[in-house]
Amino acid sequence: MIKTASFAMLHFSVAFTVAYLLTGSMLVGGLMALVEPACNTVVFYFHERAWQRHQHAHAAIPAEPDEHEWAYAA
């Protein structure tokens, strides 16, 4: 959760800066800094959970060898 919070703070800063530079409005920059990263942070959290479930589910399935595996052999 600390990683998510750290990412959120960085994202708030970037969102504000980009919106402010594009519009010249501190109000728009502030609104974008709150709304857009907040949405992305929530989506990121659920994406991480789904990704972990996906990795866990596929970890039990042995990978099939690549048909071109010989090309990478040393």
Distance from C-alpha of 9 to C-alpha of 27, rounded to nearest angstrom:
18
Distance from C-alpha of 24 to C-alpha of 68, rounded to nearest angstrom:
54
Q: Indicate the domain borders of the chain.
A: 2-57
Look at the block and give the residue holding tokens 């857009």: 36
- Cβ-contact 33, 15 below 8 angstroms: yes
pLDDT digits (tens, 9 = 90+) for 7-57: 878 988 999 999 999 999 999 999 999 898 788 889 999 999 999 999 888
- Tell me: pLDDT of 68 over 80: no
| Ramachandran class of 24: left when φ > 0, alpha when ψ lies in -120 to 50, beta otherwise | left
The model carries a pTM of 0.51
- The dihedral over CA atoms of 37, 40, 44, 46, expressed in degrees to the nearest 10, equals 130
